Amino acid sequence: MNNTATKSGQEIDSIPVRLLETIKGLFRVPEFVMFLVVVILFIIGAVMNPRFAGIENQKILTRDAAILAIAAIGVGFTIITAGIDLSIGSIVGFGGVFAALFVVRLGMPIWLGITLTLAMGALIGTFHGWYVTRFNMHGFLVTLVTLGVARGVLLVVTNATPITGVPDGFKFLGQGYLFFDLIPVPVIICAIVAGLAYYLLQFTYIGRQIYAAGGNIEATRLSGVNVNARIMLCYIISVVCATLVGIIQAGRLSLGHPGAGEGFELLAITACILGGLSLMGGQGSVIGILVGSLLIAVLQNEMVMLNINPFWHKIVIGAVLLIAITFDYARRRRRS
């Protein structure tokens, strides 16, 4: 009796109930909740300063978000394998300086300079991956070394002075627009990187195996998966993405600056964590990383637009991270 009553009751209001369930379900998706935060921040910004939502500011905002997102996606790969890549801050500087060096000082064509720089990045990533897999070492250690050494190399190579005079084609990568001068080029590059990363992680066996290695490396290895190759790939992707960010930054600044990208590793890692990646590995998505990067970019842009003292920026970002991780851990504890 009771059963039938509830059943017919469910049928009567089934559409609203189902809608409610769908909405409830959405709130359980961390990426969606983060996206709501972004929307709220955006509305606050637009209300406080009308110029915030204006097209010129949006071009700046999306470009910042895209540049951060490319680096964050790279680092995200290593975080999914339960590792990390701390080197990317210095690698951003490395990418900009070496691309500028090849193009300006050695007079290479732009495409060659960029390809060569990315290839060097891939080599550094291979080195990281080799250390991590060969010695079963946490990525933290070897990438911490690179964080220091790469910055030092930049200072030595440039004698601490920026390399100026990059050609217009190079600048286009950071400053240009496509599609009726509306979409910044970095946003398009980011879309391509994110699309490839999404495909790799979501649809291919390699992606599944990367998540599996992050979830339980031994079980994955014993299933016959070449775990070392997968981890190596993640470290290569990480450095290559950061190198790419360096090249874009150099285009944007019109110079290769040896100090570029300082502290960028923390921003990128923060974006990943805001986007729902777990430092324990095996979890997270490219969508999440994009939302996380957008959140940071909106926050930073808003603080500028609202004339908040720049000295406060890092404190605010840190506070947001603290709130995010607290919520995340509370959610996880409730679930288990």
Partner 1 sequence: MEKQPLLKIEQVSKYFPGVQALDSVDFEVYSGEILGFLGENGAGKSTLIKILSGIHLKNEGTIWFDGQQINPQTPHESQKLGISTIHQELALVPYLTVAENIFLNREPRHILGLVDFKRMNREAEALLRDLGADISGHKLIQDLNVAAQQMVEIAKAISYNARLILMDEPTSALSSKEVTALFALMQRLKERNVSVVFVSHRLDEIRQIVDRVIIMRDGRRVGALPIAEATEQKIIRMMVGRDVGLFPKEEANIGPPVLELRNLAAQNGTKGINLTVRKGEIVGLAGLVGAGRTELARLICGVDSLAEGKILIDEKHVKIKSPTDAVRYGIGWVPEDRKLHGLILGMDVQENATMAILHRISNILGAINGKEAKEISAHYVEALSIVTPGLHQTVRNLSGGNQQKVVLAKWLSTKPKLLIMDEPTRGIDIGAKAEVHGLMSRLAQQGMGILMISSEMPEIIGMSDRVIVMCQGRITGEFARGDFNQEEIMRCATQFLTVDGETMAEAEAMDTLEEN
Residues in contact with partner 1 by the rule CB under 8 A: 199-200, 203-206, 208-209, 211-212, 215-216, 218-226, 282-283
Distance CA 293, CA 286 (A): 11
Q: Which is nearer to partner 1, 34 or 217 (CB)?
A: 217
Q: How many CA atoms lie within 13 A of 276 on its CB side?
A: 18
Q: Which is nearer to partner 1, 180 or 205 (CB)?
A: 205
Q: Which is nearer to partner 1, 275 or 282 (CB)?
A: 282
* Contact between 125 and 95 (Cβ < 8 Å): no
> Closest Cα partner for 245 from 322, 193, 195?
193
Distance CA 40, CA 167 (A): 40
Q: Which is nearer to partner 1, 58 or 216 (CB)?
A: 216
Tokens of 175: 């400053």
Tokens of 324: 């995010």
* Contact between 51 and 305 (Cβ < 8 Å): yes
To partner 1, the closest distance from the beta carbon of 232 in angstroms equals: 14
Reported as type and span, the H/E element at residue 163 is strand 163-164
Single-letter code of the amino acid located at 205 = Y
Tokens of 98: 């070496």
To partner 1, the closest distance from the beta carbon of 228 in angstroms equals: 9
> Closest Cα partner for 254 from 172, 155, 157?
172
Q: Which is nearer to partner 1, 199 or 312 (CB)?
A: 199
> Closest Cα partner for 59 from 292, 261, 301, 317?
301
To partner 1, the closest distance from the beta carbon of 225 in angstroms equals: 7
To partner 1, the closest distance from the beta carbon of 274 in angstroms equals: 20
To partner 1, the closest distance from the beta carbon of 29 in angstroms equals: 15
Dmax over Cα atoms in the chain, in whole Å?
Answer: 85
Tokens of 149: 């050494």
Q: Which is nearer to partner 1, 164 or 202 (CB)?
A: 202
> Closest Cα partner for 144 from 280, 273, 246, 265?
265
To partner 1, the closest distance from the beta carbon of 5 in angstroms equals: 21
Q: Which is nearer to partner 1, 143 or 209 (CB)?
A: 209
3-state secondary structure 58-84: HHHHHHHHHHHHHHHHHHHHHHHCCCC
Q: Which is nearer to partner 1, 129 or 251 (CB)?
A: 129
To partner 1, the closest distance from the beta carbon of 291 in angstroms equals: 21
To partner 1, the closest distance from the beta carbon of 213 in angstroms equals: 9
Distance CA 7, CA 336 (A): 30
